[in-house]
Amino acid sequence: MNADRIEPGQPMPRETPAHEPPPKGASFMNVFRWILFAGLLLLAAASITVYVVGHRPGGGAKTSAGAIRYHCPMHPSYTSDRPGECPICGMTLEPIPATEEGHAAHAGGPGSAAGAAGQVPGLAPIQISPERIQLIGVRTAVATKRAMGGRIELVGFVTPDEKSLRRVQIRTSGWIQKLYVNQTGETVRAGDPLLTIYSPELYQSEQEYLIELGGHAGAMPGMDSPAGGAAPGSAGPHESGALEAARERLRLFGVPPQEIARLDRERTASTALTLRSPVTGTVLERNVVEGQSVGADTPLFTIADLARVWVLADLYEMDFGRVRVGDRAEFHVDAFPGRSFEGHVDFVYPTLSSETRTLKIRFALANPGGVLRPGMYGRAIVLAGTRSVLAIPAEAVVNAGEHDYAFLARAGGRFEPRGVTIGKGDGEWVPVLSGLAEGDTVVASASFLIDSESRLRSAISGLGGSGGPGATGAPAPHQHGATP
């Protein structure tokens, strides 16, 4: 028998037994490991099945019947299946009412069927607890028939009635000798003297008229009596035609009838002609001074009777179709608080101002005592024809730029957005042309708070992957405790 050589310093080898039995309990551990592995496989398969079913089209992440879900009031996108605190802001989670959650699941998204029926894209019906309704101060109003369209407030200013304006002029040249009216704003009566003027042409015309009339007292030196030596005052057929021509010439020069009557009576030509006021009124313009040379084209005075004045008001394009001739109108000025001047629209100007994009309307007013002065500004109120229309408070309408909508108030604290078409209102109420029916209750205050909540609810429904027509394909909101 040969033995292996053992080098010096090496340990002596140990003899290995031919067979060593397994430790106690090893078989049980092997069976347990297989059972655990099989359980993990089953759990993984179940999780995958839940995930696939919950995210396939037409499906949705649903909770068991009667389960209560919670969300953060400040971050509604965070939901959980058990109470706690919001991991974003730390607020206590609040339970989501089952009716609200179910209603949002069915009517939520902007493109859902219910959203199309609600007529307002991007909004969803919501439900608010009575406590929160009272806290945010929600008020409601009922859509009712009202008489509207009859009041339009404009800015108006006073001008003289153009039909009462009179321009005083002389139709020849001359010089102003004396002025009887020295300033504008003076009131004159018909027949009052305004000025005296010296005109060589007028003096010559009066002399010719007297010659034809047969008067010698005022004849110019060197002039003979009428041909044929006729007695003064007598005239044949030829002389009568010449006399009428001379009188007509005086009329054409603007000589008043009183001056021609004086010539017939006194038979004396005057070197100064006195011009008198043709009407009773106020002097608006005085364009001459004493000693001034004037011509036929020089306006001397402008006189207006201010017993009746015009009020002109600017009408904006959106109101063109609301005002008609004959509509009743009122004018209020700050100088006379509590007093109104009433009239009727008598003219709508046919042209539009390219600078202000407005159209002028006019109504005439009686002006006893001349209290309304040309140039005064005030509030012009046109009371156009009224009609009974369905109306709601103006603050109940939310304007989104492209469309308008209001929130219907339903029983149980539910609010539903409803698209509306409105007309021109009076500041407090607006007519509803479509979208509402008589008797509908709408939110009249705090609409912006409900609008914000509705938009959040619509966004949550769109992000929830509910699989309805309004689903956007975005991932579901974070849900605390859900199995991935």
Q: For the chain, first and last CA: distance in Å?
A: 71
Residue 102, pLDDT > 80, answer no
Condensed to tens digits (0 to 9), the pLDDT of residues 54-67 reads 444 444 434 444 56
Can you tell me the distance from the alpha carbon of 458 to that of 452, in angstroms, rounded to the nearest whole number? 10
Residue 161, pLDDT > 70, answer yes
Which residues, in sequence order, are CB contacts of 385 under 8 Å at separation 6+?
A: 149, 150, 324, 327
Q: What is the pLDDT of residue 14?
A: 55
Percent of the chain with pLDDT over 90: 31
Q: What is the pLDDT of residue 302?
A: 94
Torsion of CA 219, 220, 223, 226, to 10 degrees: -20
Q: What is the pLDDT of residue 306?
A: 92
DSSP secondary structure code for residue 407 in this structure: E
Confidence class for position 385, pLDDT limits 50, 70, 90: low
Residue 44, pLDDT > 80, answer no
Q: What is the pLDDT of residue 81?
A: 83
- Residues 109, 469: contact at Cβ < 8 Å? yes
Choose between 427 and 133: higher pLDDT. 133
Confidence class for position 370, pLDDT limits 50, 70, 90: confident
Q: What is the pLDDT of residue 220?
A: 40
Can you tell me the distance from the alpha carbon of 240 to that of 250, in angstroms, rounded to the nearest whole number? 16
| Domains along the sequence of the chain with CATH | 101-148+388-472 (2.40.420.20), 152-161+305-385 (2.40.30.170), 170-299 (2.40.50.100)
- Residues 108, 453: contact at Cβ < 8 Å? no
Choose between 291 and 100: higher pLDDT. 291
The residues pairing with 331 across neighbouring beta strands, listed in sequence order, are: 341, 380
Query: Among 394-398, 414-418, 423-427, which is the least confidently predicted range?
Result: 423-427
Q: Could you tell me how far CA 186 lies from the centroid of its own chain?
A: 43
Long-range pairs, 422-427, Cβ under 8 A, ≥24:
422/397, 423/149, 423/389, 424/149, 424/318, 424/319, 424/322, 425/148, 425/391, 425/394, 426/148, 426/151, 427/394
Residue 174, pLDDT > 60, answer yes
Long-range pairs, 423-426, Cβ under 8 A, ≥24:
423/149, 423/389, 424/149, 424/318, 424/319, 424/322, 425/148, 425/391, 425/394, 426/148, 426/151
Q: What is the pLDDT of residue 59?
A: 41
Confidence class for position 121, pLDDT limits 50, 70, 90: confident
Can you tell me the distance from the alpha carbon of 442 to that of 430, in angstroms, rounded to the nearest whole number? 13
Q: What is the pLDDT of residue 13?
A: 54
Q: What is the pLDDT of residue 135?
A: 86
Choose between 404 and 221: higher pLDDT. 404
Can you tell me the distance from the alpha carbon of 256 to that of 83, in angstroms, rounded to the nearest whole number? 105
Residue 323, pLDDT > 90, answer no
Q: What is the pLDDT of residue 50?
A: 45
Per-residue pLDDT, averaged over 297-308, amounts to 93
Residue 238, pLDDT > 50, answer no
Choose between 136 and 50: higher pLDDT. 136
Choose between 424 and 10: higher pLDDT. 424
Confidence class for position 25, pLDDT limits 50, 70, 90: low
Residue with tokens 């008043």: 256
Q: What is the pLDDT of residue 93?
A: 83
Q: What is the pLDDT of residue 470?
A: 36
- In one-letter notation, the amino acid at residue 452 is S
Query: Among 1-15, 50-64, 212-226, which is the least confidently predicted range?
Result: 50-64
Which has the closest alpha carbon to 301: 184, 128, 152? 184
Per-residue pLDDT, averaged over 118-135, amounts to 82
Can you tell me the distance from the alpha carbon of 180 to that of 194, in angstroms, rounded to the nearest whole number? 5
Choose between 178 and 320: higher pLDDT. 178
Residue 106, pLDDT > 80, answer no
Residue 270, pLDDT > 60, answer yes
At 181, phi and psi to the nearest 5? -115, 115
Using CB atoms within 10 Å of the CB of residue 390, give its burial: 0 to 12 exposed, 13 to 18 middle, 19+ buried: buried
Strand ranges (E), 263-386: 273-276, 281-286, 293-294, 301-304, 308-316, 328-332, 341-352, 358-366, 377-383
- In one-letter notation, the amino acid at residue 479 is Q
Confidence class for position 237, pLDDT limits 50, 70, 90: very low
Q: What is the pLDDT of residue 475?
A: 38
Per-residue pLDDT, averaged over 208-217, amounts to 74
Can you tell me the distance from the alpha carbon of 71 to that of 67, in angstroms, rounded to the nearest whole number? 14
When the pLDDT of each residue in the chain is averaged and rounded to a whole number, the result is 77
Instruction: Give SS3 for 249.
Output: helix
Q: What is the pLDDT of residue 231?
A: 39
Percent of the chain with pLDDT over 70: 73
Q: Which residues of 412-441 are buried (b: 16+ CB within 10 A; e: fewer)?
A: ebbbbbbbbebeebbeebbbbeebbeeebb
Confidence class for position 29, pLDDT limits 50, 70, 90: confident
Confidence class for position 305, pLDDT limits 50, 70, 90: very high
- Residues 61, 465: contact at Cβ < 8 Å? yes
Q: Across 48-57, 111-120, 175-184, which has the greatest mean pLDDT?
A: 175-184
Query: Among 10-19, 91-100, 306-315, which is the least confidently predicted range?
Result: 10-19
